[in-house]
Amino acid sequence: MPVSRRGPLRPLLALLLAALLVVGVAACGSDDGDDATAAAGGSGAPGKITIAYQAIPNGDLVVKNQRWLEQAFPDTEIEWKLFDSGGTVNEAVVAGSVDIGLAGSSPVARGLSTPIDYQVPWIHDVIGRAEALVVRDDIGSIEQLRGKKIATPLASTSHYSLLAALDRAGLSERDVEVIDAEPDDIYAAWTRGDIDGAYVWNPNLARIVGDGGRVLITSEELAREGKTTYDLAVVTNEFAEKYPDAVTTWVRAQDRAVRLLHDDPDTAARAIAAELNIDPADAKAQAADLIFVSAADQAGPEYLGGGVGRNLFATATFNQRLGQIPSVFEQQRYLDAVTTRFAEAASK
């Protein structure tokens, strides 16, 4: 599939179009059916939960592979839908086709600025070395990217980090040819020689490095300069209000995966490897490039208790300054969208 070129506001326009398409339609990823818990006040689980996930080597894949949600909700259909990036997850949420999803902090900041009616109950991971700017071996610095073709999924955390890296080097998006492509297409374009580099995440980052790519900067380095990125969970406000116990159970499963990643990384790696169709050793190495935080720690002020909300506001402001989104709300909007409620309940 060839890579495509799009303007920076294309993802936002897609979201607005999706919103128009669902006006007047009572669309929701969950299927209430005749569920008794809904009639009893909605604190249990619906007949169906639809989850948007991505091919990222974190605890979400462990939960999926081990079928912990299916075990926790024996009378509920659990549907897992694979997405390529957070921008497409945002579109699916707007369309009402998912209840819970994984999206990077940049697309979540954009989504809250649209605004999309969802909240952040969980941090899948703090992105470290798992995302990076990788280029052809003859490119030795970010300054040398002027006029080069660099691929990244628009509206993703990688896109945000690419803009931050360019800004850091005194360049802008206008100084390079930014190619919009999803991760698998980026790798294909790299192998064909169609691009000079990419800002992308594992497992495709590892594949490009394995093919001779040179890493110029990682998201871990940018985080040290205040540009921290996360893979976040989002849950629609409607689902969280109707089924809070189900969200807590979902968070509890994610916390269990974090403990497994910390205490038994080999077992966790085998589960991730099965989902990504890669070697367990590679899965373990890629997972090690991410930072996983327990529910108890996530509930603190550094994370869901304030830090993530401030990060989302700063990310939205940075995107606005660079012309990626037209406007942002006051910081309180982003702080209010991040909740400690479910992490606190899951850690007890």
Q: Give the class (CATH, top level) of 10-16+40-127+228-346.
A: alpha beta
114-125 per-position pLDDT tens digit: 999 999 999 999
Task: Tell me the pLDDT band of 30, cut-offs 50, 70 and 90.
Answer: low
Average pLDDT of every residue of the chain: 90
Rounded Cα distance, 96 and 99, in Å: 8
pLDDT at 15 over 80: no
| 40 contact partners, CB below 8 Å, separation of at least 6 | none
pLDDT at 279 over 70: yes
Phi, psi angle pair for 158, to nearest 5°: -65, -40
Closest among 94, 113, 118, 90 to 325, alpha carbons compared: 113
CA 153 to chain centre: 12
Task: Tell me the pLDDT band of 25, cut-offs 50, 70 and 90.
Answer: very low
pLDDT at 188 over 60: yes
Rounded Cα distance, 112 and 90, in Å: 10
CA 279 to chain centre: 23
* Mean of pLDDT values over 164-168: 96
* Mean of pLDDT values over 150-171: 96
pLDDT value of position 3? 41
pLDDT value of position 299? 98
- Do domains 10-16+40-127+228-346 and 131-223 share one topology? The answer is yes
Break the chain into its structural domains and give their ranges.
10-16+40-127+228-346, 131-223
Judge contact between 325 and 12, C-beta under 8 A: yes
- If 0-12 CB within 10 Å is exposed, 13-18 middle and 19+ buried, where does residue 301 land? exposed
How is domain 131-223 classified at the CATH fold level?
D-Maltodextrin-Binding Protein; domain 2 (3.40.190)
292 by DSSP, 3-state: which? coil
Residue type, 347: S
Judge contact between 105 and 270, C-beta under 8 A: no
The DSSP secondary-structure symbol of 278 reads S
- Strands of the sheet containing 100-104, edge to edge, are 77-83, 48-54, 100-104, 230-236, 118-127, 290-291
Alpha-carbon distances of 28 from 94, 107, 169, rounded to whole Å: 10, 21, 44
* Mean of pLDDT values over 7-15: 41
Taking the complete model, does pTM exceed 0.85, yes or no? Answer: yes
pLDDT value of position 43? 55
* Mean of pLDDT values over 24-48: 49
pLDDT at 202 over 50: yes
Pick from 4-8, 65-69, 270-274, 303-307: least confident: 4-8
pLDDT value of position 29? 53
Closest among 171, 232, 165 to 199, alpha carbons compared: 165
| 19 contact partners, CB below 8 Å, separation of at least 6 | 94
41-88 per-position pLDDT tens digit: 345 789 999 999 999 999 999 999 999 999 999 999 999 999 999 999
Pick from 10-24, 67-81, 279-293: least confident: 10-24
Rounded Cα distance, 245 and 230, in Å: 25
- If 0-12 CB within 10 Å is exposed, 13-18 middle and 19+ buried, where does residue 312 land? buried
Q: Give strand ranges (E) for 159-287.
A: 177-180, 197-201, 214-218, 230-236
